[in-house]
Copies of this chain bind each other. A is one copy, B any other.
Amino acid sequence: MLLRPWKTISSQYLSKSPWISLRAEKCETADGHTIDPYYVVEMPDWVHIIAFDKDEKVITTLQYRHAMREVFWEIPCGEIDEKDPSPMDAAKRELLEETGYQASEWIDLGVMYPNPARQTNKFHNMLALGAKKVAEPNLDVAEEMTHQLSSVEELLVSIKSGKFMHGIHVASLLRALMELGKI
């Protein structure tokens, strides 16, 4: 079966900002059905950093997340800034800013899409090896967070038990563990 794209008949922004924009589109399927409105969300691309120190522990964060009004256990991450020369540079910047760590080896594990049905952005999975603390974190006023080292075993137990439940971070973490032959 050939999967056929929709035609976009019209598109208008309901809200526009550097962080998130929402547009409503009038679409037509290949069978001639009209879908109106179909909402599309634009957000910046992200980097997710799966960083291991010399003892093979993973650098994880605890961060207050305002949409859920709760603290989530995560991996370092952030939006790619216009000033970042590349996604890899963004990953290095975010790891240093959020945790004070630098890594000796970086491997780009490719991109995934958080929600291609509604969102236009992607996230880059960046694996960092030999990470070492070189500075104190340099947090933004909007970042209420801390960091720690977690063993792979502890993380796997936490994913299974529902303690580590940031979905796209679970994807990045397990993708990195596959790469390293740890799962």
Whether the Cβ atoms of A22 and B29 lie closer than 8 Å is no
25 CB contacts below 8 A, A to B, read: A5-B66, A5-B69, A5-B144, A22-B22, A25-B66, A29-B141, A30-B144, A33-B141, A33-B142, A38-B142, A40-B66, A41-B41, A43-B118, A66-B117, A67-B116, A67-B117, A67-B118, A113-B165, A113-B167, A114-B114, A114-B167, A123-B167, A167-B171, A168-B171, A171-B171
A interface residues with partner B (beta carbon < 8 Å): 1, 3-6, 14-15, 17, 19-20, 22, 25, 27, 29-31, 33, 35, 37-41, 43, 62-72, 110-120, 123, 141-142, 144-146, 156, 159-160, 162, 165-168, 170-172, 174-175, 178-179, 183
